[in-house]
Structure 1
Amino acid sequence: MAEKEFQTGDHVSWASHGGRAYGVVKDKITERTHVRGRTVNASPEDPQYRIRNDHSGRDAAHRPEVLRHEPS
């Protein structure tokens, strides 16, 4: 399966404890960093995306395979 690609500003959703969560892609992470105190082991070969949650306003990092494009 081809890797999913997302752009800054894309509206996406992902599975969450309470159902589906929604947010906006802030940027693509391609190196090890921290998001909200958690280590994100991203690399150019295994990128993750920083997402701003629509409900909480908090940032989270997610792998592309768990994200789904949503209509804006």
Structure 2
Amino acid sequence: MNVGASGVRSARHRRARPDAATQNSAMGEEKVHKGDEVTWSSHGQTVHGEVVEEITEDTEAAGRQVRASKEEPQYRVRSDKSGKDAVHKPSALEDDS
């Protein structure tokens, strides 16, 4: 744990986790579904692709550890251009249909 001279953990090391009730999705109130065409931002670029899986438990996907639950799912998406997978929260995905 990174603790400053005051003995208080610095703000940049704290993790604020918004509760599911207040977290708005870029997809609005719609639920994201397997097969949905979506866009997301990656390294300053807009990426187009498809939702390939809803993740509802902690797991490893797309080369990283994913923290997810039924209340706060994440989605594995596949880029149309590169064919590579990524994992995003619904708030990072926009409807591309």
TM-score class, shorter-chain normalisation, is: 0.7 to 0.9
Q: Which has the higher contact order (CA 8 A, sep 6+)?
A: 1
Match of 2:65 in 1: 39
The question of 1:14 aligning with 2:74 is answered: no
Relative to the length of structure 2, the TM-score reads 0.66
Deviations 1:11-41 (A, max 9, x none): 0001121420111001110001111320000
> Is the CA contact 1:50–1:61 (under 8 Å) kept in the aligned structure 2?
yes
Residues 33, 57 of structure 1: alpha-carbon distance in 2 compared, 3 angstrom cutoff: same
Relative to the length of structure 1, the TM-score reads 0.87
Q: RMSD of aligned C-alpha atoms?
A: 1.5
User: What is the DSSP-based 3-state SS (H/G/I as helix, E as strand, rest coil) of the residue aligned with 1:50?
Assistant: strand
The question of 1:30 aligning with 2:65 is answered: no
Which one has the largest radius of gyration? 2
Match of 2:89 in 1: 63
What is the CA–CA distance in structure 2 between the aligned matches of 1:10 and 1:58, rounded to whole Å? 16
Instruction: Quote the offset at 1:3 in angstroms.
Output: 4.9
Which structure carries more strand by proportion?
A: 1
> Which residues of structure 1 form unaligned runs of 5+?
none
**% same residue:** 46
